[in-house]
Amino acid sequence: MITPVIISGGSGTRLWPLSRKARPKQFLNLINSSSIFQNTIQRLPQNIQSPIVVCNEDHRFLVAEQLREINCATSGIILEPTAKNTAPAITLAALKLSKNNQNDPILLVLPADHSIEDIRSFHSAIEIGKDLAMKNKLITFGIQPTSPDTGYGYIEANIDNNNPYSKIKSFNEKPNEKIANTYFKSGRYLWNSGMFMFKCSVFLKELEKFQPKILDACKKSFAKELQDHDFIRLINNEFLKCPNLSVDYAVMENTSNSFVIPLDANWSDIGSWDSLMKSKSKDSFGNAIDGDVVLQDVENSFIYSSNRLISAVGVKNLIVVDTSDALLVLDKSNSQNVKDIVSKLQRSNRPELSDNRKVFRPWGYFDSIDIGKTFQVKRICVKPGEKISLQKHRHRSEHWVVVSGIGKITCGNEIFNLKENESTYIPKGEIHRLENDGDINLEIIEIQTGDYLGEDDIIRFEDDYQRD
């Protein structure tokens, strides 16, 4: 039986400012009304096992919530304490599945942040991969290149159009423009999709042969079962010793048993604003727009507005991305270089790299409407049946005004309800909690006042989500 392994550790820096550390591209609705992560699961064949997801600790509630939204059961959510690349991530999934399954499942390894439009071709490739995996082959899926793109790695293979798969000759890193043109013209190269298929036992055997340190570190990370509902936690200090390697370097480049299945399915890794634009419908002038946008004499541009009107006149070949706290403007030809801006922001320790103004929590979200030296105004939404932690603050007081729903308030020794247009005051140092026992969203306006307003000024006493 096939078990999907969804690798969801990517940061999506080239899609900044929409993709942020706290909510990277795989959790955004960039293509349609579902997130890219949800699309990855929704396009899976019907007759396979529930997926196992590998993600980092900070994204665990995003993964759980997005699985719940599409009513998807899971074989587990493995939480990496730090990103160690794809070889350790796949190893963790293989060890977990082989421990609980005596039938030696076939792993279908899929990045969580890709787009595939031709589902039928994708499913056909999976069936070919399943047959090869049953014969103990290690399979990757290579994308038929449509251009000499420098943003992808390449796979060299003895491609035979009469054969649905080929023996792999080599893996090649992202090339420069000259080499990419040579690859493209030769007809012997495919884009490296980062999708794989193999039996648990076969992968672990090859890993033990070529990278025993990865296998040893991952086994020790699982030495003690630490399961919290669907979350599978590791022994952190053991996992931190694990080498940081991709599965290409660790296994696929070294084994003599690797094959590639060419895939022509309108695939994209959505790795840049330019590649995202290609997946969008366009007007007669080649423009793709998203949000409230008005154009005049604009050509071949992508304009994205998250919350306000954008107007553009007399420009071409531009990408404009506007969020509540950051604006990106670039020439389309520089789409791959957004990562350089991200690096500059990292060196300056800019908060815009991590969170949007709207910050999601397992209980809902908050939106920072305004902030000054000694005050901050937030709009807070608590989902039905959810509640914030029982907590207090050292440096700030809070005023709460209910604008929708009914809030159950804990303030010191008092517990009471607040209806729409009612308010309360939470003094500095007072233990408090906000709950939503209703069946609609609870929305409040929170006004904070104090000498320090950071999110780390929270002392938690009880928390349904086991946060520190």
d(CA 23, CA 250): 29
d(CA 226, CA 232): 6
Can you give the pLDDT at residue 320?
Answer: 97
Length of the chain: 468
Can you give the pLDDT at residue 387?
Answer: 95
Q: Is there a single domain that holds both residue 260 and residue 332?
A: no
97 exposed, middle or buried (CB, 10 Å; 0-12, 13-18, 19+)?
buried
Which residue range forms the structural domain that includes residue 321? Answer: 273-345
Can you give the pLDDT at residue 423?
Answer: 97
Q: Is there a single domain that holds both residue 175 and residue 285?
A: no
What's at 122, amino acid-wise? F
- For the ranges 59-63, 264-268, 287-291, 357-361, the lowest mean pLDDT is seen at 357-361
189 exposed, middle or buried (CB, 10 Å; 0-12, 13-18, 19+)?
buried
Can you give the pLDDT at residue 225?
Answer: 67
Q: Is there a single domain that holds both residue 151 and residue 220?
A: yes
Q: Is there a single domain that holds both residue 328 and residue 428?
A: no
Residue 412's domain is classified under what CATH number?
A: 2.60.120.10
* Residue 399 forms part of a structural domain: yes
Per DSSP, the three-state class of 185 is helix
Q: Is there a single domain that holds both residue 277 and residue 162?
A: no
On the CB side of 376, CA atoms within 13 Å amount to 18
Per the model's pLDDT, the better-predicted residue between 337 and 99 turns out to be 337
Per DSSP, the three-state class of 438 is coil
Model confidence at 184, in pLDDT bands (50, 70, 90)?
A: very high
- For the ranges 52-66, 292-306, 403-417, the lowest mean pLDDT is seen at 52-66
Q: How many CB atoms lie within 10 A of CB 372?
A: 9
- For the beta sheet containing 327-331, the strands, ordered from the edge strand earlier in sequence to the opposite edge, are 288-290, 302-305, 318-322, 327-331
Model confidence at 101, in pLDDT bands (50, 70, 90)?
A: low
Among 94, 75, 77, smallest CA distance to 86 is for 94
Q: Is there a single domain that holds both residue 367 and residue 242?
A: no
Q: Is there a single domain that holds both residue 158 and residue 66?
A: yes
Q: Is there a single domain that holds both residue 190 and residue 236?
A: yes
* Residue 67 forms part of a structural domain: yes
Q: 189 forms bridges with which residues in the sheet?
A: 156
Secondary structure of 321-368 in the HEC alphabet? EECCCCEEEEEHHHHHHHHHHHHHHHHCCCHHHCCCCEEEECCEEEEE
DSSP state of 27: G
* Residue 109 forms part of a structural domain: yes
Asked if residue 20 lies in contact with residue 355, where contact means CB atoms within 8 angstroms, the answer is yes
Among 309, 348, 26, smallest CA distance to 320 is for 309
Can you give the pLDDT at residue 13?
Answer: 87
* Residue 178 forms part of a structural domain: yes
* Residue 17 forms part of a structural domain: yes
Can you give the pLDDT at residue 330?
Answer: 94
Contacts of 320 (CB under 8 A, 6+ apart): 301, 302, 303, 304, 310, 312, 327, 328, 329
Q: Is there a single domain that holds both residue 290 and residue 259?
A: no
Can you give the pLDDT at residue 100?
Answer: 65
| Tens of pLDDT, residues 123-177 | 999 999 999 999 999 999 999 999 998 888 999 998 877 889 999 998 998 999 9
Residue 53's domain is classified under what CATH number?
A: 3.90.550.10
Last residue within a domain, chosen from 234, 268, 302: 268
Per DSSP, the three-state class of 177 is helix
Can you give the pLDDT at residue 222?
Answer: 85
* Residue 57 forms part of a structural domain: yes
Backbone angles phi, psi at 26, to 5 degrees: -65, -20
| Tens of pLDDT, residues 355-373 | 778 888 889 999 999 999 9
Among 280, 231, 189, 252, smallest CA distance to 80 is for 231
Backbone angles phi, psi at 338, to 5 degrees: -60, -30
Q: Is there a single domain that holds both residue 284 and residue 340?
A: yes
Residues 256-274 have a mean pLDDT of 92
Residues 2-22 have a mean pLDDT of 90
Asked if residue 27 lies in contact with residue 58, where contact means CB atoms within 8 angstroms, the answer is no
Can you give the pLDDT at residue 336?
Answer: 83
Can you give the pLDDT at residue 236?
Answer: 87
What's at 348, amino acid-wise? S
Can you give the pLDDT at residue 102?
Answer: 66
Secondary structure of 72-119 in the HEC alphabet? CCCCEEEEECCCCCHHHHHHHHHHHHHHHCCCCCEEEEEECCCEECCH
Residue 188 has pLDDT above 80, yes or no: yes
Contacts of 292 (CB under 8 A, 6+ apart): 305, 308, 309, 310
d(CA 99, CA 101): 6
Counting the structural domains of the chain, the total is 3
On the CB side of 400, CA atoms within 13 Å amount to 25
d(CA 40, CA 115): 7
| Tens of pLDDT, residues 375-405 | 999 999 999 999 999 999 999 999 999 999 9
Residue 290 has pLDDT above 80, yes or no: yes
Residues 288-297 have a mean pLDDT of 96
* Residue 414 forms part of a structural domain: yes
Q: Is there a single domain that holds both residue 120 and residue 200?
A: yes
Residues 23-35 have a mean pLDDT of 92
Structure tokens at 18: 């929409």
Can you give the pLDDT at residue 351?
Answer: 85
Q: Is there a single domain that holds both residue 378 and residue 319?
A: no
| Tens of pLDDT, residues 32-57 | 889 999 999 999 999 899 999 999 98
Q: How many CB atoms lie within 10 A of CB 236?
A: 14
Share of the chain above pLDDT 90, in %: 74
Can you give the pLDDT at residue 466?
Answer: 75
Can you give the pLDDT at residue 468?
Answer: 65
* Residue 468 forms part of a structural domain: no
Can you give the pLDDT at residue 87?
Answer: 95
